[in-house]
Amino acid sequence: MYGKLAKAALTLIQSKKGRKVLKTTLIIAFSPIILILIFVVSGADGASKHNNELINVLFQDKAISASVPYEYEQFLLNYKSAFTKINDEISSLEMSSGQLDSVLIKSILFVAYLEEPTNYPVTQINTSEYVGLFYTKEEVDVEAESVGIDPSEDAEAQHKTKLVLTPIKSTETLMQKATNYLQKDIVANKDMLYEIYNVALTGINKRLDGHIPMADLLKDAYNTSDQSPYIGGDFKSPLEDDWKQYVTSEFGPRDSITLPDGSVTGSYHTGIDFGRPTGIPLLAVGDGKVVVVRYTDVGLGFFTVIDHGGGIFTVYGHMSRIHVTENQTVKQGQQIGEVGNTGYSTGAHLHFEVIVNQNYVNPRNYLK
């Protein structure tokens, strides 16, 4: 029972949309006793507070309250033990580029055993093998001088190899690898995985970012960009294939849309929407610098903005995962995140904007 209670509480996120969706899921999946416990005794706000406490315990290694029941304590201790081993394993690895997403690694393991009568098996996982699912290994040649070999030695000794570890970015790939390794269908539970991941991600480092108008977010970046040369090149697709076949909403005037929380959008669309499933890779359309990374439950949800110089910016909204950080330099075609359904959204898609000289323009005029 306590494992189920933890599952219910953890997936109650703070946004209105998340509560509505997940409350329906709970009504189907759980007994009236648990529903009464969560929604009547605690209330939605109380459940959200409890949810934050669970996040702190499981993903931020906070102490377990002495007042929790024994069975629930054991449920939490099993995960804490497994998560500690994962953290230690990640710390022991040296990535050649980027970092392993520890929140995703732990979220996948968490989801894998939620349906089990006991989550004890998580303590028996081979941590090194499990974490190894999330990166690739490659032996590469290195020049003799870079490894301290005297170039005057024989040719065989002039070249050495080193092991290069590179994080795998695609959540879809990682879910499939974890499904095969754990023999648990992570792919079938990806909606729950994304909910838990988003709660854990935003609950560890900070609360969700508050809404700030784009003009205010980019105020300083506008000035800097205007004084720098354009470096973006000819914009290419933000998707791995041709974007034209996925357009679901055009730039410009449109009928207002009623969102899941009951609010209504404006009648002018400042970008283009591309309808794609959650987890599909999103690519930088041109070279540039990441100037904004925000995690919100309103507006564009999880979104990022890239400055291409010369007063030209691109915006990527409603993402499920963001793979870049502010002030990071990116290259055209580099994966910056994944399609999602965060913020004010009626379904998984990319909302893509182009801003030129502080004005929104039709992305079709720039995309190839």
Task: Note the pLDDT tens digit of each residue in 108-154.
Answer: 998 898 777 778 889 899 999 999 999 998 888 776 445 455 555 55
Q: Which two tokens stand for residue 30?
A: 């759980």
pLDDT higher than threshold 80 for residue 302? yes
pLDDT at 265: 67
Q: Which two tokens stand for residue 318?
A: 């409603």
pLDDT higher than threshold 70 for residue 198? yes
Q: How far apart are CA 346 and CA 261, in angstroms?
A: 10
User: Which is nearest to 115 in space by CA: 7, 267, 258?
Assistant: 7
DSSP state of 101: -
Domain spanning 214-365: CATH 2.70.70.10: yes
* Residue 53 binned pLDDT confidence (cut-offs 50, 70, 90): low
pTM of the model: 0.64
Sign of CA dihedral 159, 161, 162, 168: positive
Domain ranges in the chain? 2-123+179-205, 214-365
Mapped onto helix, strand or coil, the DSSP state of residue 359 is: strand
Q: How far apart are CA 297 and CA 160, in angstroms?
A: 50
pLDDT at 32: 28
Contact 2, 20 (CB under 8 A): no
* Residue 158 binned pLDDT confidence (cut-offs 50, 70, 90): low
pLDDT higher than threshold 60 for residue 232? yes
Contact 274, 238 (CB under 8 A): yes
Contact 168, 139 (CB under 8 A): no
Q: How far apart are CA 77 and CA 80, in angstroms?
A: 5
Please tell me which residue, 89 or 28, carries the higher pLDDT value.
Answer: 89
Q: Which two tokens stand for residue 114?
A: 């939620």
Predicted confidence (pLDDT) per residue in 280-296, tens digit: 999 999 999 999 999 88
Phi-psi region of 138 (alpha: psi -120 to 50; beta: other; left: phi over 0): beta
Looking at every residue in the chain, the average pLDDT score rounds to: 80
pLDDT at 292: 96
